[in-house]
Amino acid sequence: MPALFTNARNLSRQQKIMLTDVIDRIFSGLDLTDTQRERIETAYKAVGSYLASCDEPLLEGAKVYAQGSVRLRTAVKPLGRDEFDVDLILFLPNAKNASRDEIVSVVKQHLLKHNVYGELLEELPRGFRINYKGDYHLDITPAKEYDSAQLLGYPLWVVDKRSEFKESNPEGMASTFDQCCLLKPKLVVQKSLYAALNSRSVEELPDQSIKHLLNRIVQIIKRHRDVWAQDKGNIYAQFKPISVLLTTLASKAYKEVVEAGKEYDNEFDLILDVIELMPHHIESELGQILVANPAMRAENYAEKWNRVKDNEGFKLQQAFFEWHKAAVLSFENMISDEKNGLDNLFSSLSSSFGSRAVAMTRDKYIAEINNAREKDKLSVILGSGALTVTQSKSASANVTQAITPVRRNQFYGD
């Protein structure tokens, strides 16, 4: 298979560092805020307490915990009027011998009795949704104990409208994802433009206690998928790849990259490698397409790709590969000889990640550059066009490329 990202890989190191800086700044603005996290946590704890307080024996000892993007720290602000999708597991320790219908009925009836939840309740194929009026909703999946406990995490049987119960292990998946996040690539990062502008110290990697590199890569992939799906005329929009499938493929690709021991001098090349390798981790087993939960092989995130009725499976497969092709093109065309300059850069980023989020970052970016320019600290590295900041003689002693200062804009003379 020919290598992808020919143009993107041929960018200068400084251009790649600048792109990584800008993209990271964009996604810092797309993270859940502390206030949103607190509201979400308060909301789902309240639901859990309410369900556990029921006199119904089936609900005694019920526990609610987060799964999906909130648990993985890969949540991204939705586009337009969409809401955060907060996925929760409702574990029922006393429901081992209960049927799917019994579990769904008991949970539904108790939620309907609540003066708030009852009015906001919607039934789903695998549980219920509480539609809060705001920027998020809660999706609650009732579950009972799995037959075998010899697996990482908490293997479960979750209710399912089509098959009564399905194997699932969201906590096991999350644990393996957390382990992947802790893997550190061989990465030496040159001091970035933003770090220099703000006189921040340089670290080998971003703060690993808050947001790991893999968390950010998954956010980038999911956001690109969402923007791609909203493109007018996209015939695959309704079949866009689901988040857990993208997350699993990205984490497996990231693990492959790190374990290969390749050395990087910038994060941008690593992101390209992860995106390129994602399709390589789609498996085939007994004639079925498989993207398995790494903690429970019986849970197949590509299960729907094998459906024959109405050609659904084929459409889902095609949608993934169309999205992947679009992602490659987006990263290939972020910077090129024909599309140089900040305006073109931010235009490219807008088409990939959404105009509103990118515009906010653009304004801050330009303001900081202009501030540095006015203080005569801004320079351009000759031959690359990348912006840098002049520090002191000792700080610039190891710079091997020639630099030239960018003069202040003095429209009114000296």
Distances (CA, A) of 275 to 56, 84, 217, 281, 386: 48, 24, 9, 11, 25
What tens-digit pLDDT sequence spans the chain (414 residues)? 457 899 999 999 988 998 999 999 999 999 888 888 888 889 989 998 999 888 899 999 999 999 999 999 999 988 877 788 899 999 999 999 999 999 999 999 999 999 999 999 999 999 999 998 777 899 999 999 998 767 888 899 999 999 999 999 999 999 999 999 999 999 875 544 445 445 443 333 333 335 799 999 999 999 999 999 999 889 999 999 999 999 999 999 999 999 999 999 999 999 999 999 999 999 999 999 999 999 999 999 999 999 999 999 999 999 999 999 999 999 998 886 556 678 888 999 999 999 998 998 998 888 887 887 777 665 543 333 444 444 433 333 333 333 334 434 333 333
Q: Which residues pair with 283 in a beta bridge?
A: 290
Q: Which residues pair with 85 in a beta bridge?
A: 137
Distance of alpha carbon 21 from alpha carbon 193, whole angstroms: 8
Helices within 143-277 (DSSP H only)? 170-182, 193-197, 213-229, 243-260, 267-277
The amino acid occupying position 169 is N
Q: Is 144 exposed, middle or buried (0-12, 13-18, 19+ CB in 10 A)?
A: buried
| Extended beta strands in 229-277, E state | 263-264
Domain boundaries, given as residue ranges, for the chain: 6-30+175-342, 34-168
Quote the tokens at residue 78.
């939705």
3-state secondary structure of 135: coil
- Class of the domain covering 34-168: alpha beta
Q: What are phi and psi of 3, to 5 degrees?
A: -65, 140
Q: What are phi and psi of 98, to 5 degrees?
A: -85, 150
Please tell me whether the overall predicted TM-score, pTM, comes out greater than 0.75 for this model: yes
Q: Indicate the angle between helix axes 170-182 and 213-229, nearest 10 degrees.
A: 120
